Amino acid sequence: MNNQKAEKRPRKTELFILAVILLIGLSLRGLYLSEIVKSPDFTVPMVDAAYHDYWARGLANNDWSVFGDRKDPEIRSTPYLRPPGYFYFLALVYLLSGTSLLAARIVQMGLGLVNCVLAYILGRSLFGRCAGLILAGLMSVYWIFIFFEGELLAPVLIIFCALSLMNILYLWTAKVTCLRGIAAGVFCGLFALFRPNILLFVPVILVWAWWLTRQQNDRRRFFTAIIGFIVSIAAVIAPVTLRNYLVADDLVLICSNSGVTLYIGNNENSDCVNPRIPDLQQLTGLYKWGCFEYPQVVHGISRTVGRPMKHSEVSSYFAKKAIHYICKHPLKILKLTAKKTALFWGPAEVSDNKEVLYAKQQSLALRYIPGFPVVISSALVGLLQLIFNLKIWRIRKEQFPLAVRKQLGMSLLIVLFIGTYFVSFLPFIITARYRVPIIPFLLLFGAYGLCSMGQYIRRRDFHRTICWAFVWIILYVLATRQLIPYKSNPARWYYYRGGAYSAKGQIDLAINEYRKALQVVPTAASAHNYLAKALERKGNLSEAVEYYYRALRLKPDFLNARFNLGIALYQQDKIDEAVDHWIKVIQLYPYHADAHNYLGLAFYKLGNINEAIKYLTEAIRLKPDWSEPQNNLAWLLATAEDEKLRNPVEAVRFAKRAVELTGYKSPGTLDTLGVAYAAAGKFTEAVQTAEKALDLTRNTGNENLAKQIREHLELFKAGRPYIEAHEPPNEPGR
């Protein structure tokens, strides 16, 4: 009995080897961290990472101000769009570290080493010391884990939940108890807060547990354990469901993006890897979309349906469209499913947020670490060896020992987990990070295979060693075959870096990255648009216009590029040309409030006040909570030369609304309100408002605006209104 306990306890040598493995993993992570800390998007996260960062900052600091030109994602008034687990984890790190992006990466890499220990425990419990140490070693150095630990994304936490869950479920193979059921339910519920499709695995666990209790001949404990398991899952998820209902009056279990993601994976334009929504421009005016723009998608569907839609209703709307397409085109869906299967198990790292494979090639720390073909081929060899070894027991007609029965039961559950997890993604799209959580379990079987090979070598059984090595080589060669053509897009790698530099105000570096993008992919319309925007910010308007035109030649319906081109032409005083492009924008997308606002400014400058009023009024109707068109229309109505068009009362109303929308913090809108008051003969109010506006300019450093407000203030003190025609209030620099 004492010998059995000693066998279960790790030996000093074993712990020393594990410590060395963790030290190697720590060193590799430290080297990679020293590389990415110099990357522009380390401090300015992009795409999904930006959404996670924004949400976590809001939770930690109650700062919900939107960075740059991003739209308000309306997080506080809508159900969770994405599973909220990672946001709360990141918010906790921010709260403890003072919103440190470096601390977030350090914590995630530390958790990656914890995952190595959890993997070691599982491998040791299931297949012995050797397999446990090999698995820990593979986990510590495999590049995809390290890569995602350096991103503000959830894979490291999903792996933590998955390994914790499997370690607890392994205890079930000895005895299914209520306490173990509760522990498993807690981790299953936490897993669901990061990746809700784990809930599809719950029925599998229940059937597996029933099979176990039949072997253990203890059905009474089975029912108490299962009740504890299900109740604890519900207890973890319930606060999220309750929050969604209380905040948005919308019954959403965890998150509301299932319908749109289902439609993205099942429509006539689906390519299995990119999140494309058909008719996106017609619905929203967007060429591409992300989490920040999802409220625009909801508003677009609401306009289409003709009534305000809840997020759950929008999810159902997209789900119905997807199901309709699936039923109508079964052969196309079969082809899409086959393509997704090939991509999921294929050698390529399918990217969505970043070009993952290109990031690996750029990293000295990760560049030379083998990729997924080694993982999948090793896992298959290990599984085949496990099946072969179990078959030997049957040939000998010996009853499976308890340890072998545990191996059999747990291995079966892990295989079912891998299969269920894979199948749960088939209706959607495929990306590299979606398959990361199953890689530890593939490595588990690979570790078993390597352990078995070592035993053959130690016993000098070279015949089996050579046979299995040959099988591994064949499987590896097959695993390197790319059945479905897929190529990484290095242009996207560069223009995402350019976007980060641009957000940091480093325009020259941004321009350099955009030019690199066009060197590798000259036909990338998005890169032309981004480069043009950066050149425009730099003041190179002529070159910016040239690149906007290039983007439009590549994609004539590129609405964003056409809108931006109009702005660049407007700044060059080519007002008529700008108007032509903005008219085309609203022909493509009639709900483009920005285009209507700019058309109002353009017609004001051309002296066509009636058209200016028409377009500004429409901009306000389309976006009633946007201050700019309110401010512009107030200025126009207060300063129009034609007395028939001048309307000081309405000017005051619109100016007040603009000031409210800016939170009384914009000196420009306060100046407009002062002009409106003066036009209405309310000079006391005009003076008070102008003085507030002048006081605010001390914080902005805008001397031109301060000078203009002082001139207006002198007029108002003298009892004279400002009626002369003037430049529109939202010219660059105001």
User: What pLDDT, on a 0 to 100 scale, did the predictor assign at position 88?
Assistant: 95
Pairwise pLDDT comparison (101 vs 68), residue with the higher score: 101
Most confident of 269-278, 581-590, 642-651: 581-590
User: What pLDDT, on a 0 to 100 scale, did the predictor assign at position 474?
Assistant: 95
Query: Residue 729: is its pLDDT beyond 50?
Result: yes
Say if CB 632 and CB 600 are below 8 A apart: yes
Burial state string for 503-516 with b = 16 or more CB within 10 A and e = fewer than 16: beebbebbbbbbeb
Query: Residue 397: is its pLDDT beyond 90?
Result: no
Pairwise pLDDT comparison (37 vs 713), residue with the higher score: 37
Confidence of residue 493 (pLDDT cuts 50, 70, 90): confident
Mean pLDDT (the chain, rounded): 89
Query: Residue 161: is its pLDDT beyond 90?
Result: yes
CA distances from 724 to 401, 534, 643, 704 (A): 97, 35, 12, 18
> pLDDT tens digits, residue range 284-297?
777 778 888 899 89
Confidence of residue 216 (pLDDT cuts 50, 70, 90): low
Confidence of residue 402 (pLDDT cuts 50, 70, 90): low
pLDDT, mean of residues 418-439: 94
Percentage of the chain modeled with pLDDT above 90: 62
> pLDDT tens digits, residue range 357-379?
888 988 999 999 999 999 999 99
Per the CATH hierarchy, to which homologous superfamily does domain 558-624 belong?
Answer: Tetratricopeptide repeat domain (1.25.40.10)
Confidence of residue 16 (pLDDT cuts 50, 70, 90): very high
Confidence of residue 83 (pLDDT cuts 50, 70, 90): very high
Phi, psi of 271 (to 5 degrees): -115, 10
Which CATH number is associated with domain 638-734? 1.25.40
User: What pLDDT, on a 0 to 100 scale, did the predictor assign at position 403?
Assistant: 66
Cα 312 from Cα 81, distance rounded (Å): 10
CB-based burial label for 732 (10 Å; 0-12, 13-18, 19+) = exposed
Confidence of residue 398 (pLDDT cuts 50, 70, 90): low
DSSP labels for 30-91?
HHHHHHHTTSGGGTS--HHHHHHHHHHHHHHH---PPPTTPPP--GGGS--SS-SHHHHHHH
Start-end of CATH 1.25.40.10 domains in the chain: 558-624
User: What pLDDT, on a 0 to 100 scale, did the predictor assign at position 2?
Assistant: 35
User: What pLDDT, on a 0 to 100 scale, did the predictor assign at position 596?
Assistant: 95
DSSP labels for 306-339?
TS---HHHHHHHHHHHHHHHHHH-HHHHHHHHHH
pLDDT, mean of residues 416-428: 95
Say if CB 293 and CB 70 are below 8 A apart: no
Phi, psi of 192 (to 5 degrees): -65, -30
Say if CB 389 and CB 452 are below 8 A apart: yes
User: What pLDDT, on a 0 to 100 scale, did the predictor assign at position 8?
Assistant: 62
Say if CB 132 and CB 123 are below 8 A apart: yes
> pLDDT tens digits, residue range 522-566?
998 999 999 999 999 999 999 999 999 999 999 998 999 999 999
Cα 497 from Cα 502, distance rounded (Å): 9
